[in-house]
A = this chain, B = another copy of it.
């Protein structure tokens, strides 16, 4: 809570909103997010934020902070600096992130930078891509008697490719930015004893006009996903098996 902070905000600085844009469709942002976005002076947005979402803030100066996964961590330092600079230049600053800002969003580093600079901020949550994907394919991530819990994860290797990150263990496994890493995940899940016929759904460009859904099995995923250009979400587990009524 900002009331907890010992650091008084500098009066000359503006306010920053970290907003989750949701999965991409313009009307899957929250009502609160859309309102603040519509009143923003400047919007610092990720590379993957869709034109549909940016059309919600035609009045704002747009700054693309085009970091994608895999880039050096210095890129994040530059985003942090830019965010603080903007707060001294503009009254209403929005930092717009895909999905929800508190999941895989490097939010801790941006919030630390804002706190160090004594800048007031607020966070507006968003719909994460996994839920939009589940809605699109009409299959819930949890299912009575079948899947009681869900893990969200990204890469399975660390900075050094020889370092293995522990794979989470849940009934339903959702891998963000799963395109390239999917094959490795499949191999590891098979090695852990998961059946080769475990259902997998990979979705590219969730909630956008060019959304593409691929149904496969864990065994097939071990051979690699079909080539994808957009961001891919991979969902694995018995909950993803197609209903007989579907």
Assess the B150–A127 pair: CB atoms within 8 A: no
Query: A166 to B34, alpha carbons, bound, how many Å?
Result: 40
Chain A positions 100 through 132: 1 when the CB is less than 8 Å from some CB of chain B, otherwise 0? 111111111101100110000001111110011
Which of A20, A131, A139 lies at the interface centre, i.e. has the most chain B CB atoms within 10 A of its CB?
Answer: A131
Instruction: Indicate if the CB atoms of A149 and B168 lie closer than 8 Å.
Output: yes
Residues of B within 8 A of A137 (CB): 1
Q: From B107, B140, B213, give the contact of A108 (CB < 8 A).
A: B140
Q: By the criterion CB–CB under 8 Å, are A111 and B243 in contact? A: yes
Are A131 and B153 within 8 A (Cβ)?
Answer: no
Chain B residues with CB under 8 A of A124: 28, 135
CA distance A7 to B245 in the complex (A): 8
Interface contact A168-B165, CB-CB below 8 Å:
no
Q: Which of B31, B100, B112, B154 contacts A27 (CB 8 A)?
A: B31
Q: Of B1, B32, B149, which contacts A138 at CB under 8 A?
A: B1
Q: Does A62 contact B (CB under 8 A)?
A: no
Whole-angstrom CA separation of A103 from B144 in the bound complex: 11
Name which residue of chain B comes closest to A146, CB basis: B108
CA distance A25 to B139 in the complex (A): 26
Complex Cα spacing A29 to B28, Å: 9
Given the complex, which residues of B lie within 8 Å of A7, measured CB to CB? 245
- CB-defined contacts of A150 to chain B, threshold 8 Å: 103, 151-153
Shortest C-beta distance, A246 to chain B (Å), equals 6
> Of the candidates B5, B29, B169, B246, which one forms a contact with A30 in the assembled complex, judged by CB atoms under 8 Å apart?
B29
A-B contact pairs, 17 of them (CB 8 A): A5-B246, A28-B31, A28-B124, A100-B134, A102-B139, A103-B140, A103-B150, A105-B140, A106-B144, A107-B140, A108-B239, A108-B243, A123-B134, A123-B136, A125-B131, A169-B169, A170-B170
Q: A residues within 8 Å of B by Cβ?
A: 1-2, 4-5, 7, 20, 22-23, 25-32, 34-35, 73, 100-109, 111-112, 115-116, 123-128, 131-132, 134-144, 148-155, 165-166, 168-171, 213, 239, 243, 245-246
Query: What are the 10 A-B residue pairs with the smallest beta carbon separation, nearest first?
Result: A115-B245, A102-B134, A149-B153, A123-B135, A125-B131, A27-B32, A169-B169, A107-B140, A102-B140, A27-B31
